[in-house]
Structure 1
């Protein structure tokens, strides 16, 4: 339900309100709450109408579910950004033999491993900020 309120919790709040406020003032408070909810509903209806008028026909074309911030998973966004490695251009050797003209493309991990300088045995590997 709304704000985690269940029927049991709402019933308990109503009973406590009836005991605290008292039977003499309870109808007046209930009427005030109903009036406040009616004004709030009218305000929201007017705001929706104003937005629809200002946006024009674009208001109906918007898929509001795509704009829901709960759908964004930062882990997925970062994972996709890290996996989007730029393609490594293939180097074509100059050869008269057409069969030898096709060179295999090395995987990205192999190219990165070749680019790292050799380290002395017994020293820890350098900190990799991209791995975190």
Structure 2
């Protein structure tokens, strides 16, 4: 658990005994035990809630397969590069973009530019459509 060996736990206990002191050590040990019990209860409660919400599918899930520690980015990239070109799932078809020209709203907004008229900021022919305050600039 977390790479802690018995020797490390013993060393932590000895240091805690010196820092905390023998009078307060039982109180802090009881608090730690209560915290561990509470944490374990919360974990069990979360597991039970997942089991209730997922139903019988909860027991069928291979949780080891979903463990993020098993993913090695180098292996994933190597597998993707060595994958056969035709074996990948085809990409979803995208709707072709129409190249016929601007839509009616864009054409109406650009009409003053095409006619050579000046565009006044904030005016009815403002192409940008952004509010503009001439006094603020």
The TM-score, its normalising length taken from structure 2, stands at 0.57
Query: Deviations along 1:21-46, whole A, 9 cap, x unmatched?
Result: 11111111111111111111111111
- CA gap of 1:66–1:24, structure 2 versus 1, over 3 A, is same
- Give the deviation of 1:68 after TM superposition: 1.3
Structure 2 unmatched runs, 5+: 87-137
Q: How many residues align?
A: 86
- CA gap of 1:39–1:79, structure 2 versus 1, over 3 A, is same
Moved over 6 A (4+): none
The TM-score, its normalising length taken from structure 1, stands at 0.59
Structure 1 unmatched runs, 5+: 88-132
Determine whether 1:41 maps to 2:50: no
In angstroms, what is the RMSD of aligned CA positions? 1.5
- Which of the two has greater helix per residue? 1
Query: Deviations along 1:61-109, whole A, 9 cap, x unmatched?
Result: 101111112222222222222223436xxxxxxxxxxxxxxxxxxxxxx
